[in-house]
Structure 1
Amino acid sequence: MIYYPPLVERWRSETHIFHLLCGECTITLEDVALHFGLPIDGSAVTGISVIVESAALCYNLLGASLGDDKSNFSNLKFTWLKANFEHLSINATEEELMCAAQAYIMHIIGGVLIPNANNNRVHLQYSPLLTDLPNVRSYSWGSTILAMLYRELCRTTKSDGIDIGGCLVWLQSWALYRMPFLASISHQPYVFPLVNR
């Protein structure tokens, strides 16, 4: 069970704060940095907004692209990433290893860090950030995750909001750590009364 609905109900878009019976609280950049170990300062994570030649962009990054019938696309399905990069041969070249690493990072971005509401695709706008893998750490991924989560919480509190995106697994983890009273079960170790006498 994900514990975000009680939080969404108490989110205030005007102040970006949860209003709870025990007081007000919000997620900070420090929370994101400590939980994920991702940088919170550095270059902004921005992507290209208009993808002209998506097949070429995909091929340059991953060494593979969707079929010719789908030459104009803006995101990649996780099923396609898995089918093309799940297994590497023993004799994989360094280029094949880099492509597989970039595909894995794209999957992490779209599946964990910055997922959309339907959570089965990753947008190609992030792919240019991965062309220089040693430079990836210089981006402020933590602030992007937090900004996307704030945006999703604000969007979901509106009357027409029906779904939520963003890093909900992290939101659940943060909520259980900061507000353990939200947990429906005790996280105490189980005691065997007959054994521990």
Structure 2
Amino acid sequence: MDLLQFVLNFKGTPPWLNATALTALTDRWRPETHSFHLPLGEMSITLEDIAMITGLPIEGRALTGKVRSNGWRQRVAALVGVESEPWTDETRKDPRPSGVLFSWIQRHFRRCPKDASPLVVERFARAYLWNLLTQVVFPDGTGDTASWMFLDPLRDWDVKWS
């Protein structure tokens, strides 16, 4: 999937985010020019800059598509081999209708067994990439949920995503 360089940036843990630096950059962002206005001048970040910094590929199919939420738990089970627990409290709305907790992924996929079959290794690799992509590239507002919709593109290992 051409994600090796991206994965090697993290070696098992997502990067620590410096909230002060992010706030400073956010304060200096000018949407009308799509650039940062810094004391030393104006700075623009290009797509190529992002590719070089993150190791994410910028050539390939764009990561777009239709989102079908019906049956997402079954699709998760088909791709990683474990179905997430359904929401059973009928008095309250499901707080995680769009994915699973990162702790769920870590509980089920912390360590791949040494004598695992190729299918099991593939499922663990898929769960690892899903966890990494949803924590680093596509985080949600809760900060603790891996959205199921970013697991679907990991179905086919031969597709090069941009």
Q: Per the shorter chain, which TM-score range?
A: 0.7 to 0.9
User: Is 2:132 aligned against 1:108?
Assistant: yes
Q: CA RMSD in A?
A: 2.0
Alignment map for 1:175-190 (pairs within 5 Å): none
Kept in 2: contact 1:47–1:128 (CA 8 A): no
2:50 corresponding residue in structure 1 = 32
Kept in 1: contact 2:134–2:150 (CA 8 A): no
1:89 aligned residue (93, 106, 113)? 113
* Helix, strand or coil at the partner of 1:24: strand
* Helix, strand or coil at the partner of 2:133: helix
Alignment map for 1:156-167 (pairs within 5 Å): none
Kept in 2: contact 1:54–1:73 (CA 8 A): no
2:161 corresponding residue in structure 1 = 139
1:129 corresponding residue in structure 2 = 153
User: Take 2:120 and 2:101, find their aligned partners in 1: how far apart are those partners?
Assistant: 20
User: Is 2:32 aligned against 1:14?
Assistant: yes
Which of the two has higher C-alpha Rg? 1
- TM-superposed CA distance for 1:52, in Å, is 0.8
1:56 aligned residue (74, 97, 101)? 74
1:77 aligned residue (101, 104, 113)? 101
- TM-superposed CA distance for 1:122, in Å, is 1.6
Percent sequence identity is 30
- TM-superposed CA distance for 1:67, in Å, is 2.2
The Cα offsets for residues 11-44 of structure 1, whole Å up to 9 and x where unpaired, read as 1122221112221112111111112222112211
Structure 2: 5+ residue runs without aligned partners? 1-17, 89-93
* Helix, strand or coil at the partner of 1:103: helix
Q: How many pairs are equivalent?
A: 138
TM-score by length of 2: 0.76
1:143 corresponding residue in structure 2 = none
User: Take 2:148 and 2:65, find their aligned partners in 1: how far apart are those partners?
Assistant: 8
1:151 corresponding residue in structure 2 = none
* Helix, strand or coil at the partner of 1:111: helix
Question: Which amino acid in structure 2 is aligned with residue 49 of structure 1?
Answer: V
* Helix, strand or coil at the partner of 1:97: helix
- TM-superposed CA distance for 1:97, in Å, is 0.7
TM-score by length of 1: 0.64
* Misfit runs of 4+, over 6 Å: none
2:9 corresponding residue in structure 1 = none
- TM-superposed CA distance for 1:68, in Å, is 4.0
Going from structure 1 to structure 2, the CA distance change for 1:9 and 1:19 (only over 3 Å counts) comes to same
* Helix, strand or coil at the partner of 1:19: strand
Q: Which has the higher helix share?
A: 1
